[in-house]
């Protein structure tokens, strides 16, 4: 229930209101002067302040101003003298949320107002709570996926976001590392603070140093003024160090020291300043290999990867391909205002079979291109790039790892029928690829000609 602060220079009124509201279950504290109230406001967070306009030594308006300064969301109720309209208007002009007139009905009116405010506070809290819960269920706004691997990732993001521990995100190119870094920032306590990104691979060493740590006037030719670095700019927030695997060894040493001491020294300066920054780093390199080959410092690696997050390649979670493809289709058809609203089953099969070395980014680009080229209503094989349209799954997929198989649906499934469906599909595929020559098709499936004939008859292929 709401937390109240009652302020009146008449002790008896304080006591009366305290008793009244305590009986209703609120937490109540009192103060008999504006000064005492301000001290309370420094120490405590109140939901509602009820104050008399006329206090012995200062005005309730001073207290009002102070309250809105230190605690803007606090609801402020001013008690004004009977019939004094001018006071009432002043109160509202000063930002009071309500005024209540002194008189017989004072406590009754205050009770009503406080009850309303308390109700709306509860609704607000509930709405916030529900929104957070809903987000947990539906994953993260713009990160799409429903495979077990992605659900585990959502869970992990929700767990690490509220903390400030460093995170190291690894994964192949296009797997969504930047997306995940942003999500961690946005789900965390620092959501309202800056999220600053830098691609460490895109700068020569000296430039990267002054970008990250800033410089002072005269540090080098061209340094005509003091310049803040990204570490200082991200103070209180998150700094995303992308492509950390491309950072030079010298810079790695400097970064290590900053992480260790939480202080940065601008180029050319002798002074260090403290920074409070959550660091999230990402790389598509295998840092263990980089360490083994002397290109990445082991001490920095351990500093950065307090919480390691590895993003699975798209081919390790093919179940997500249809969902991703459809959501990209939706986005591009709207953007291009084209009447393409589906994906032809055969085209979808090719998309699911392809091994996506460029991961989600490649899928995104493929769909964009397909939407642009398609003249019909559904995306067909003909608008897919040749390498995808004609993709032959390699050995690795034929000895399919379990990850490549669809998950057992929630409601269960008819396994016999499912397997028959698979047999039928591959029989057909083999026949097509063998150009209708059945002995060749049988060989493709490592079957005897007799078994092939048996199955072909069974499925009417």
Ligand X SMILES: Nc1ncnc2c1ncn2[C@@H]1O[C@H](COP(=O)(O)OP(=O)(O)OP(=O)(O)O)[C@@H](O)[C@H]1O
Please identify which residue in 159, 165, 173, 228 interacts with ligand X, judged by CB under 6 A.
173
Q: How far is the CB of 360 from ligand X (least distance, A)?
A: 4
Closest by Cα among 109, 113, 116, 107 to 14: 107
Comparing CB distances to ligand X, the nearer of 17 and 313 is 313
Residue with tokens 């649906």: 409
Q: How far is the CB of 278 from ligand X (least distance, A)?
A: 18
Taking CB under 6 A as the criterion, which residues in 286-325 touch ligand X?
Answer: 324
Residue with tokens 């263990």: 288
Q: Is 98 in the site for ligand X (CB under 6 A)?
A: no
Measured at CB, which residue is nearest to ligand X? 176
Q: How far is the CB of 176 from ligand X (least distance, A)?
A: 3
Q: Is 178 in the site for ligand X (CB under 6 A)?
A: yes
Q: How far is the CB of 242 from Mg ion (least distance, A)?
A: 5
Q: Of Mg ion, ligand X, none, which one does residue 344 interact with (CB within 5 to 8 Å by kind)? A: none
Q: Of ligand X, Mg ion, none, which one does residue 245 interact with (CB within 5 to 8 Å by kind)? A: none
Q: Of ligand X, Mg ion, none, which one does residue 52 interact with (CB within 5 to 8 Å by kind)? A: none
Please identify which residue in 174, 188, 229, 312 interacts with ligand X, judged by CB under 6 A.
174
How many residues interact with Mg ion (rule CB under 5 A)? 1
Comparing CB distances to ligand X, the nearer of 80 and 283 is 283
Distance in angstroms (rounded) separating the CA atoms of residues 46 and 192 = 22
Closest by Cα among 113, 63, 53, 58 to 88: 53
How many residues interact with ligand X (rule CB under 6 A)? 16
What residues pair up with 28 in beta bridges, in sequence order? 4
Distance in angstroms (rounded) separating the CA atoms of residues 110 and 47 = 14
The window from 156-164, 173-181, 401-409, 438-446 that contacts ligand X (CB under 6 A) reads: 173-181
Q: Of Mg ion, ligand X, none, which one does residue 171 interact with (CB within 5 to 8 Å by kind)? A: ligand X
Please identify which residue in 36, 121, 143, 259 interacts with ligand X, judged by CB under 6 A.
143
Per-residue contact flags (x/-) with ligand X for residues 346 to 365, judged by CB under 6 A: --------------xx--x-
Q: How far is the CB of 174 from Mg ion (least distance, A)?
A: 8
Taking CB under 5 A as the criterion, which residues in 145-184 touch Mg ion?
Answer: 178
Q: Of Mg ion, ligand X, none, which one does residue 403 interact with (CB within 5 to 8 Å by kind)? A: none
Distance in angstroms (rounded) separating the CA atoms of residues 9 and 196 = 50
Please identify which residue in 78, 144, 160, 239 interacts with ligand X, judged by CB under 6 A.
144
Q: How far is the CB of 143 from ligand X (least distance, A)?
A: 4
Closest by Cα among 202, 199, 212 to 265: 212
Cβ distance 128 to 135 under 8 Å? no
Please identify which residue in 158, 166, 177, 265 interacts with ligand X, judged by CB under 6 A.
177
Comparing CB distances to Mg ion, the nearer of 186 and 272 is 186
The window from 170-178, 202-210, 213-221, 337-345 that contacts ligand X (CB under 6 A) reads: 170-178
Q: Of Mg ion, ligand X, none, which one does residue 312 interact with (CB within 5 to 8 Å by kind)? A: none
Comparing CB distances to Mg ion, the nearer of 178 and 429 is 178
Angle at 137 between CA 135 and CA 143, to 5 degrees: 65
The window from 84-92, 117-125, 172-180, 331-339 that contacts ligand X (CB under 6 A) reads: 172-180
Closest by Cα among 130, 112, 133, 132 to 122: 130
Residue 450 backbone dihedrals phi, psi, to 5 degrees:
-65, -45
Distance in angstroms (rounded) separating the CA atoms of residues 5 and 41 = 9
Q: Of ligand X, Mg ion, none, which one does residue 173 interact with (CB within 5 to 8 Å by kind)? A: ligand X
Q: Of ligand X, Mg ion, none, which one does residue 360 interact with (CB within 5 to 8 Å by kind)? A: ligand X
Q: Is 404 in the site for ligand X (CB under 6 A)?
A: no
Please identify which residue in 60, 171, 214, 312 interacts with ligand X, judged by CB under 6 A.
171
Q: How far is the CB of 453 from ligand X (least distance, A)?
A: 45
Please identify which residue in 63, 170, 176, 384 interacts with ligand X, judged by CB under 6 A.
176
Q: Give the residues lining the site for ligand X (CB under 6 A).
A: 143-145, 171, 173-179, 284, 324, 360-361, 364
Q: Give the residues lining the site for Mg ion (CB under 5 A).
A: 178
């Amino acid at each position: 229930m709401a937390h109240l602060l009652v302020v009146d220079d008449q002790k008896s009124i304080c006591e009366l209101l305290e008793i009244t509201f305590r009986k209703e279950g609120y937490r109540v504290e009192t103060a008999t002067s504006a000064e005492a109230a301000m001290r309370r406001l420094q120490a405590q967070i109140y939901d509602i302040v009820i104050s008399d306009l006329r206090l012995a030594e200062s005005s309730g308006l001073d207290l009002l101003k102070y309250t809105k300064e230190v605690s803007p969301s606090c609801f402020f109720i001013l008690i004004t003298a009977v019939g004094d309209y001018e006071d009432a208007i002043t109160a509202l002009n000063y930002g009071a949320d309500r005024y209540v007139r002194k008189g017989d009905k004072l406590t009754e009116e205050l009770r009503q107002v406080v009850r309303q405010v308390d109700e709306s506070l509860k609704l607000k809290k509930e709405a916030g709570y529900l929104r957070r819960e809903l987000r947990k269920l539906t994953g993260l706004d713009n990160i799409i996926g429903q495979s077990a691997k992605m659900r585990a990732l959502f869970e992990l993001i929700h767990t690490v976001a509220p903390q400030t521990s460093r995170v190291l995100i690894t994964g192949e190119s296009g797997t969504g590392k930047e997306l995940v870094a942003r999500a961690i920032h946005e789900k965390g306590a620092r959501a309202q603070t800056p999220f600053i990104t830098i691609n460490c691979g895109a700068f020569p060493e000296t430039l990267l140093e002054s970008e990250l740590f800033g410089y002072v006037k005269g540090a080098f030719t061209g340094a005509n003024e003091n310049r803040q670095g990204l570490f200082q700019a991200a103070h209180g927030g998150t700094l995303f160090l992308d492509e950390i695997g491309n950072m030079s060894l010298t810079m790695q040493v400097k970064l290590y020291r900053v992480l260790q001491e939480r202080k940065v020294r601008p180029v050319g300066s002798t002074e260090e300043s403290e920074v409070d920054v959550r660091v999230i780093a990402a790389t598509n390199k295998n840092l263990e290999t980089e360490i083994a080959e002397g290109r990445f410092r082991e001490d920095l690696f351990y500093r950065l990867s307090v919480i390691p997050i590895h993003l699975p390649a798209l081919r390790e979670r093919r179940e997500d391909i249809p969902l991703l493809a459809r959501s990209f289709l939706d986005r591009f058809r709207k953007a291009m205002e084209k009447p393409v609203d589906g994906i032809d089953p055969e085209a979808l099969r090719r998309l699911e079979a392809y091994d996506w070395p460029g991961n989600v980014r490649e899928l995104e680009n493929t769909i964009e291109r397909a939407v642009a080229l398609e003249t019909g209503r559904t995306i067909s094989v003909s608008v897919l790039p040749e390498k995808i349209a004609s993709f032959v799954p390699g050995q690795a997929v034929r000895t399919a790892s379990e990850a490549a198989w669809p998950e057992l649906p929630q409601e269960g499934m008819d396994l016999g029928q499912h397997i028959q469906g698979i047999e039928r599909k591959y029989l057909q595929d083999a026949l097509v690829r063998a150009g209708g020559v059945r002995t060749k098709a049988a060989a493709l499936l490592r079957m005897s000609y007799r078994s092939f004939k048996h199955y072909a008859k069974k499925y009417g292929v």
